[in-house]
Amino acid sequence: MPDLSGIRPEHIACKNCNTAKLLRRPSSKAVINPPDALGRIEGDVFVIRPIPLNNKPYRLILVDRKTRFKIIRLLKSKDKVITKVKAAIEEINNTFKRYPVYLYYDRGKEISRLRPYLREKGIVFSESNPYTHNQNSLAERAIWVVLERLRAVMVALGLPSSL
């Protein structure tokens, strides 16, 4: 049997991923899941730099806390968030024949006009503080993974990090 005791995680990691700091460590905190799918949806908006060729730099991400199912929508501006969130909620209802119970979102100004719609559909809306990873953890973590993978691809292609 070969001696593998000298092998460390940095020896087997992809060089590009390692350069982009894609290596992750498991969290020591337990995640409390709702009892049912669609019990809690977490959402956020983030921006991709450099601006992609489709001229849609913003991304809306919605994550189901129970199943970790993600919905990502492309946006030209933050003004489109309301229509994209409504469309995603209606898609969920059409597919699963029920609306989410809770929607957690950071205190972004773009989401405030959505409250009457959520009340009408029976969805409880809750805000987290902006940029607090522990309050909106799944959405923030999903954003982090997308951006880190994008950086890894940029490194692999030899593109400058200043883009």
* pLDDT tens sequence across 75-111: 998 888 999 999 999 999 999 899 999 998 877 777 7
Q: How many domains does the chain have?
A: 1
DSSP type of residue 130? T
Confidence (pLDDT) at 158: 83
- For residue 52, give its domain range: 33-157
DSSP type of residue 39? S
Confidence (pLDDT) at 14: 65
Find the mean pLDDT for residues 62-84. Answer: 90
Domain assignment present for 10: no
Other Cβ atoms within 10 Å of 35 Cβ, number: 7
Output the average pLDDT for the chain. 80
What is the residue whose two structure tokens read 């946006």? 75
CATH number at residue 52: 3.30.420.10
Residue 134 has pLDDT above 80, yes or no: no
Q: What is the CA radius of gyration of the chain?
A: 19
Domain assignment present for 147: yes
Confidence (pLDDT) at 118: 92
Question: Could you tell me which of 29, 39, 94 has the C-alpha nearest to residue 65?
Answer: 39
Find the mean pLDDT for residues 112-120. Answer: 89
Q: Are strands 58-64 and 70-75 parallel, antiparallel or unpaired?
A: antiparallel
- Spatial distance between the Cα atoms of 113 and 74, rounded to a whole number of angstroms: 19
Residue 48 has pLDDT above 70, yes or no: yes
Domain assignment present for 127: yes
- Check residues 16 and 158 and name the one with the higher pLDDT: 158
- The predicted model scores a pTM of 0.74
Tokens standing for 140? 């923030």
What is the residue whose two structure tokens read 């522990």? 134
- Check residues 24 and 111 and name the one with the higher pLDDT: 111
Domain assignment present for 13: no
Domain assignment present for 8: no
Burial class (CB in 10 A: 0-12, 13-18, 19+), 64: buried
Question: Backbone dihedral region of 133: left (phi > 0), alpha (psi from -120 to 50 degrees) or beta?
Answer: alpha
